[in-house]
Structure 1
Amino acid sequence: MDHALVAEDLSRSYGDTTALDGVSLAVERGEVFALIGPNGAGKTTLVRALTGTTTPDSGAVSVFGSPPDAVDENRIALLPQAFSPPERLTGRELLAYYAGLYDESRPVEAVLAEVGMAADADAWYETLSGGQRRRICVGTALVNDPDLLFLDEPTTGIDPAGRRDLRSLIADLAAGGTTVFLTTHDMAEAEELADRVGLLADGRLVEVGSPEALVAAHGGESRLVVETAAGTDALAGTDYRVSATRDELTIHGIGPEGIGEAVTALERAGIEYESLAWTQPSLENVYLELADERVAEEPATAGGAR
């Protein structure tokens, strides 16, 4: 495979706290890889190790076949979660400043348009909203037209329309051959954008796979939730697997093609209901399942991974 990024058995500790515990992964060129995990799982430490801004205690990182600090700076870009550029510059001035740090850079106006800031490019950074600031910050990571782009929580603080636009931009970058390593707490974002997803918990990479594969393996079943006071006995004698609360009856394992038959069974049983809602498992279900399992397996410790 043609890998843009390879990490082998990375470990990093801060005093008595283990931030990374033997993490290995490989990201192909042109792939969008999303890293998810609880706060304190070690995501930021892993990004720092992969970009060469933190030296692991053990293990090795290869970026385009070389150590991170030996890679041409034009080929790699990082947008950290915490980024505070000079506030008394306009968005246009900020992008021009960062573009000037590279031997070759993209046109500032084109980048402003891509991140949706062309109309507000002459406003001082300090006067921009949180979402507008984040758009400008994303722009600073794009001015060198990187081959490998690290985005640490890129859509934090951005309104829904802005998130949609940035997701579209990330998808376009990947379609054009840019490798994107993304950390996010937004499971819908990871599910929409990522070719593969890795779950990091307690410094260990618990699971890696495509969103579809992870949902199939760990997401649980689709289900039909019926708003009714009827209990599980209401469908006794049928093949349905059901559970109930005081005001809901859940029929488990129902695919979209089986909804009509299930409704017929409810009517035959004389069950009165207010509403029906069919839900299917998502990456959020995977996250909750695997993260909860990890917490249950690990004994409580003082402190946490950074």
Structure 2
Amino acid sequence: MEAVVEATDVRKTYGETVALSGASLSVEGGEVFALIGPNGAGKTTLVRALTGTTEPDSGRARIMGDSPMAVDRSRLGVLPQNFSPPDRLSAHELIAYYAGLYDNARDPDDVLADVGLADTGETWYEDLSGGQQRRVCVGATLVNDPDVLFLDEPTTGIDPAGRRTVWRLIEELAASGTTVLLTTHDMAEAERLADRVGLLADGSVIARGTPTELVREHGGSSRLTIETAAGPDAFADLEYPVDRPERGRGQTPDSVVVVRDIDPVAIATVVDYLERHDLEYTGLTWSEPNLEDVYLALADGTELERTDRADETDDGADLQQTGETA
């Protein structure tokens, strides 16, 4: 199937900052493609390059076979990450305003109902909650019934119930044939919505595939996390591999150990081992790998490298400042 949205070796720099270093992706018709990655990885810049609001230094961006600058804008819906419409208009007035930009726009009341705001149409935008404001912004991108929809962090600040409303709406749009490219930091959102996921790090897409494919390839094994002061050496006779958790698991390294490659039916074996060896523990948690594990495995190293580089720069600046002061 021919790609509806396509980026090929897109590069973009801002001064000395490299935002994109050769990013490539393709999105097929009716597909939901989720772009994930650390802050500063280049997700928003790539969306801007694809929608024609930023011109790449090199590489190629295409929408429905055309340059983003040449494509019929009435066929696109674009929700920027930062979108601030006028405060002193009601939700209905805002949707009606954007509907007035198109010849065959949808009814504003229908759009408000789609985003779960049918009862707040007369409320001024500034009086809506942050999550309601974001849903109005989502609605503004749908008034022209777009063929291709770009959503940059669409559910940021939306409460869980509102988030699920937006999720169902995106699923319905994709089912009706709309092509969707969204960026998100919510791995549950990407896992639920996306047919395929691309992980952007340091300006390039370093992995892509269905959530299942990515988890299978990069997510690691099932694991049993044990809250205990005992170290991995205390489990030397256990038939499963045991080690400390990876960085970012939410526990301090000395408070837990992780038993890997274990099925839930074998948890009793571990409990028996703990009791036979008089190893105290306060909790057990079994889990399968998911998209968050993929993110941590592939993006965490990049984030650490960036932090280390920033720390080195700061240290150098501090040393230089100290020398000048002295």
**Shared fold, TM over 0.5:** yes
Q: Report how far residue 275 of structure 1 moved.
A: 2.6
Amino acid paired to 1:97: Y
Give the 3 Å change call, closer, same or farther, for CA 111–16 of structure 1 in structure 2. Answer: same
Residues 87-126 of structure 1 deviation map (CA, whole Å, 9 limit, x = unaligned): 1111111111111101111121111111011001110111
- Rounded Cα–Cα distance in structure 2 between residues aligned with 1:23 and 1:265: 49
- Rounded Cα–Cα distance in structure 2 between residues aligned with 1:40 and 1:238: 42
Q: Which residue of 2 aligns with 1:284?
A: 292
- Rounded Cα–Cα distance in structure 2 between residues aligned with 1:54 and 1:250: 45
State which drifts further: 218-227 or 246-255: 246-255
Q: Report how far residue 274 of structure 1 moved.
A: 3.3
Higher relative contact order, structure no. (Cα contacts within 8 Å, ≥ 6 residues apart): 1
Residues 1-40 of structure 1 deviation map (CA, whole Å, 9 limit, x = unaligned): 2311111111111122211111111111111111111221
Residues 149-203 of structure 1 deviation map (CA, whole Å, 9 limit, x = unaligned): 0001111111111111111111111111111110111111111111111111221
Q: Which residue of 2 aligns with 1:300?
A: 309
Answer whether contact 1:31 1:195 (CA < 8 A) is retained.
Answer: yes
State which drifts further: 35-44 or 233-242: 233-242
- Rounded Cα–Cα distance in structure 2 between residues aligned with 1:251 and 1:26: 38
Residues 251-301 of structure 1 deviation map (CA, whole Å, 9 limit, x = unaligned): 112123433443344445454543321122222222122123334667837
Q: Report how far residue 227 of structure 1 moved.
A: 3.0
Name stretches of at least 5 consecutive residues in structure 2 with no aligned partner. Answer: 245-252, 315-326
**TM-score, normalised via structure 2 length:** 0.86
Answer whether contact 1:91 1:123 (CA < 8 A) is retained.
Answer: yes
Name stretches of at least 5 consecutive residues in structure 1 with no aligned partner. Answer: none
Give the 3 Å change call, closer, same or farther, for CA 236–201 of structure 1 in structure 2. Answer: closer
Q: Which residue of 1 aligns with 2:72?
A: 72
Give the 3 Å change call, closer, same or farther, for CA 126–57 of structure 1 in structure 2. Answer: same
Amino acid paired to 1:291: A
- Rounded Cα–Cα distance in structure 1 between residues aligned with 2:173 and 2:84: 24
Residue 213 of structure 1: SS of its match in structure 2?
helix
State which drifts further: 286-295 or 118-127: 286-295
**TM-score, normalised via structure 1 length:** 0.91
Give the 3 Å change call, closer, same or farther, for CA 99–16 of structure 1 in structure 2. Answer: same
Give the 3 Å change call, closer, same or farther, for CA 76–271 of structure 1 in structure 2. Answer: same
State which drifts further: 234-243 or 89-98: 234-243
- Rounded Cα–Cα distance in structure 1 between residues aligned with 2:113 and 2:239: 56
Residues 50-106 of structure 1 deviation map (CA, whole Å, 9 limit, x = unaligned): 001111111111111111122222211100011111111111111111111011111
Q: Which residue of 2 aligns with 1:16?
A: 16
> Identity over aligned residues, as a percent?
59
How many residue pairs get aligned? The number is: 303
Does the alignment pair 1:252 with 2:299?
A: no
1:197-212 equivalence runs, <5 A: 197-212=197-212
Answer whether contact 2:38 2:303 (CA < 8 A) is retained.
Answer: no
Q: Report how far residue 243 of structure 1 moved.
A: 3.0
State which drifts further: 203-212 or 287-296: 287-296
Residue 285 of structure 1: SS of its match in structure 2?
helix
Answer whether contact 1:74 1:104 (CA < 8 A) is retained.
Answer: no
Q: Which residue of 1 aligns with 2:27?
A: 27
Answer whether contact 2:231 2:257 (CA < 8 A) is retained.
Answer: yes
1:30-41 equivalence runs, <5 A: 30-41=30-41
Residue 26 of structure 1: SS of its match in structure 2?
strand
State which drifts further: 236-245 or 91-100: 236-245
Give the 3 Å change call, closer, same or farther, for CA 243–110 of structure 1 in structure 2. Answer: same
- Rounded Cα–Cα distance in structure 1 between residues aligned with 2:233 and 2:70: 67
- Rounded Cα–Cα distance in structure 1 between residues aligned with 2:134 and 2:305: 37
Amino acid paired to 2:66: S
